[in-house]
Structure 1
């Protein structure tokens, strides 16, 4: 069986990116981001940024798209963390 590696990349990257969605929904519902560690988000953005760069260099569309989504989702987490931390203070 010959499976295109980009399909596997889209599935793996899509699942990794989807990890953030339940957390974002939970934060929006509870209006609290106390459980979010800012350092973890920063490391996540750096990691996804490096994978994105690698994907661009290798011209792997799956890596480019999924890591771009991860960067956006992690950025949303950071913004929500800042918003709900400021509201609490």
Structure 2
């Protein structure tokens, strides 16, 4: 029985999307985003958004779902960067 490529896509995309979750949790716990690069976050959100667009054009559900999560997580990371950088004395 062959493995459905969409399953591989969900696993790979899910792991890529999950990359940001520990960082978001760390920022919120420590109330500091000093070590986060805004440029890296912007590149990440643009990259994920382009992959999402590609997934939509190619009708790949795994790319659509996982890159939607990645865009959301990276956007949250950017908001955390702005929120916690402004709280620094």
Q: Please, what TM-score do these two structures have when normalized by structure 2?
A: 0.97
Q: In 2, Cα distance between the equivalents of 1:29 and 1:85?
A: 14
- SS of corresponding position for 2:66: helix
Aligned residue number for residue 34 of structure 1: 34
- SS of corresponding position for 1:34: coil
- SS of corresponding position for 1:88: coil
Q: Let me know the Cα RMSD of the aligned residues.
A: 0.8
Q: Describe the superposition over 1:24-77 as per-residue Cα deviations: whole angstroms up to 9, x where unpaired.
A: 110011000001000000000110011001000000000000000000000000
Q: In 1, Cα distance between the equivalents of 2:84 and 2:22?
A: 17
Aligned residue number for residue 77 of structure 2: 77
